[in-house]
Amino acid sequence: MADSMAQLSRSRDLDKLLLRPGHLVGPTFEPGPDLRDDLQQYARVLVVGAGGLGCELLKDLALSGFRNLEVIDMDRIEVSNLNRQFLFRLEDVGKPKAEVAAKRVMERVSGVNIVPHFCRIEDKELEFYNDFNIIVLGLDSIEARSYINAVACGFLEYDSDDKPREETIKPMVDGGTEGFKGHARIIVPGVTPCFECTIWLFPPQVKFPLCTLAETPRTAAHCIEYAHLIKWDEAVKRAELFGIPGVTYSLTQGVVKNIIPAIASTNAIISAACALETLKIATGCSKTLSNYLTYNGVEGLHTKVTEFLKDKDCLVCGPGILIELDTSVTLQKFIDLLEEHPKLLLSRASVSHHGKNLYMQAPPVLEEMTRSNLNLRLFDLMDKIPKDIIHVTGTTSKGDHKTSCLRKLRVVFKGIDGVTDMDMAGGA
Ligand SMILES: [Zn+2]
């Protein structure tokens, strides 16, 4: 009884958005109870990350009428999470975040089903991600965002006029916070800029090789990092000598690297904005954010929406890097080419074609299963299609920093597409 009352009052608020027409609605919006039922029945949303933002997102989405949610996170709960990752309790420390978060929201919000995935985002097959209507990101790393962005953009196909094909668009909503600042943005691949189009928004990540710090320092930053990383014991002794308490490694990290604590209210505000955008994308009940909201609560409160533009040459959300090959090229030769290609420089590549694994570097069991393909012609492995999209994952290095990445390639086999000699001669 209490349950059905709670459901009724919950859908009452949602109904105000979904059952009535309005002036600010999206172009395809059709108000009515069917819309609410469809949202509950068919909309499938993946939340990436079950930390500060993820806990908020799951709760917000569940309370916004979404019923089919999944969450993926590789971390276990730590004591230091408990001040803001409010779904977790002291007895949960050490347990997987995704599993506990899913369980807690399902206990509190009746009717919602949340499937947890306790693993790395790279461990899932690409098709796993294709199963969702919307992907919502509650992450704290650029690498992870970049990866999911490439996965979602990888599904995008262009028609012959280079227009994105509607049914292949996988929208994402991305939230991020740093102390009292945060952002919420929507990424509609092929329509709005993707994460990679605006990667310049993030300051470069500075990391120094240890040998440079120890042997051949060249900059002031190298000296500071040397004291921080290598002379740590001596630094601690100095504090002891002068009787100064509190010189801990984490405080040093905070001072040197300007690490900012996560703030619960910022997470709540950013997640709310992201959940609302997700609801808008799923139902069309209002026009979506266009396309990047920044929030700053450092002094007072300031929010602003900026419309960023797509990078037309983007390697990730564009039509794909064109690679021309002879039909004789084997899969092994192709993988070698990826390593030398100036735009790719991709090592240890795994290759898939329309969800079928042609070669996988890992796990060992898949490597063994696909190894025999290496000597076969790529043209045959791609079902003799003269021109098609294939996906490759691998590692690429920037300086000393290796990141895993996914790239979409347009493979064209020379001498097959277009008019052949046989056609000219009127042959079969
Ligand atoms: Zn892009």
Q: Structural domain tally of the chain?
A: 3
- pLDDT tens track for 162-173: 889 999 999 999
> Is 110 among the domain residues?
yes
> Average pLDDT of 244-260?
73
pLDDT value at position 185? 97
Give the whole-angstrom CA distance, residue 50 versus residue 40. Answer: 22
Tens of pLDDT along 298-333?
A: 999 999 999 999 988 788 898 878 899 999 999 999
CA of 145 to the centre of ligand 1 (A): 13
Show which of 306, 335, 369 is a domain's final residue. 306
What stretches of 93-227 adopt beta strand conformation (E)?
113-117, 134-138, 172-178, 181-187
Count of CB atoms within 10 A of residue 186's CB? Answer: 22
227 and 172 share one domain: no
CATH of residue 405's domain is 3.10.290.20
| Section 133-150 average pLDDT | 93
> 181-187 and 387-398: which strand pairing?
unpaired
List b or e across 109-134, with b for residues whose CB sees 16 or more CB atoms inside 10 angstroms. Answer: beebebebbbeebeeeebeebeebbb
Taking a 5 Å cut-off on Cβ, the residues next to ion ligand 1 are 194, 196-197, 314, 316-317
Segment 204-216 mean pLDDT:
69
- pLDDT, mean of residues 197-201: 87
Give pLDDT, residue 215: 76
Q: Given 55, 194, 197, 211, which residue is catalytic?
A: 211
Q: Are residues 194 and 216 in the same domain?
A: no
Q: How far is the CA of 190 from the centre of ligand 1 (A)?
A: 8
Contact 125, 106 (CB under 8 A): no
7 residue type, one letter: Q
Torsion of CA 238, 241, 247, 253, to 10 degrees: 0
Cβ neighbours for 144, distance < 8 A, ≥ 6 positions apart: 48, 49, 121, 137
- 43 with 75, same domain: the answer is yes
Mean pLDDT of 28-36: 92
In a domain, 330, yes or no: yes
C-alpha to C-alpha distance for 181 and 300, rounded to whole angstroms: 11
277 in a structural domain: yes
Q: How far is the CA of 341 from the centre of ligand 1 (A)?
A: 20
Q: Are residues 405 and 325 in the same domain?
A: yes
Task: With respect to residue 421, please indicate whether it lies within any of the assigned structural domains.
Answer: no
**Within a domain: 424:** no
- Distance from Cα 199 to the centre of ligand 1, integer Å: 9
* 274 labelled catalytic: no
Side-chain half-sphere CA neighbours of 83 within 13 A: 6
Q: Between 264-283 and 2-18, two packed helices, what is the crossing angle to 10 degrees?
A: 70
Which of the residue ranges 73-82, 188-197, 307-316 would you say has the lowest mean pLDDT? 307-316
Among 144-148, 173-177, 398-402, where is mean pLDDT lowest?
Answer: 398-402
Same domain, 48 and 177: yes
For residues 56 and 238, which has the higher predicted lDDT (pLDDT)?
A: 56
Of the candidates 279, 306, 333, which is a domain's last residue?
Answer: 306
Ligand 1 center to 425 CA (angstroms): 43
Q: Do 182 and 223 sit in the same domain of this protein? A: no
Q: Are residues 51 and 158 in the same domain?
A: yes
Of 145-154, 197-206, 279-288, minimum mean pLDDT range? 197-206
Strands 292-296 and 181-187: antiparallel
Tell me the HSE value of 270 on the side-chain side, using a 13 A CA sphere.
Answer: 35
Reported confidence tier of residue 423, pLDDT bands at 50, 70, 90: very low
Q: Has residue 285 been placed in a domain? A: yes
Comparing C-alpha atoms, which of 13, 20, 23 is closest to residue 35? 20
| β-strand pairing of 401-413 with 302-306 | unpaired
Q: Provide the pLDDT for residue 399.
A: 65
Q: What CATH number should be reported for the domain holding residue 129?
A: 3.40.50.720
321, 407 in Cβ contact below 8 A?
Answer: yes
pLDDT of residue 159: 84
In this predicted structure, the answer to whether residue 407 has a pLDDT above a threshold of 80 is: yes
Instruction: Tell me, yes or no, whether 428 lies in a domain.
Output: no
Specify the pLDDT at position 4: 65
DSSP assignments along 292-359, one per residue = EEEEE-SSS-EEEEE-----TT-TTTSS-EEEEE-TT-BHHHHHHHHHH-TTT--EEEEEEETTEEEE
- pLDDT (mean) for 131-141: 95
What pLDDT is attached to residue 134? 98
Beta bridge partners of 174: 137, 185
pLDDT of amino acid 92: 97
Give 269-307 pLDDT, tens digit per residue.
999 999 999 999 999 999 999 999 999 999 999 999 999
* 282 and 361 inside one domain: no
Tokens describing residue 290: 């266009």
CA–centroid distance, 197 to ligand 1, in Å, is 4
Domain that holds residue 219: 210-257
Residues 266 and 335 in one domain: no
Is the residue at 425 inside a domain? no
Q: What rounded mean pLDDT belongs to the chain?
A: 88
Tokens representing residue 155 in the block: 């599904």
Residue 35 has pLDDT above 60, yes or no: yes
Are 234 and 184 within one domain?
no
pLDDT above 70 as % of the chain: 91
**pLDDT for position 8:** 67
Write the single-letter amino acid at 192: T
Q: Is the pLDDT of residue 43 over 80?
A: yes
- The residue among 236, 257, 278 that closes a domain is 257
Q: 355 and 302 in one domain?
A: no
Q: Do 276 and 334 belong to one domain?
A: no
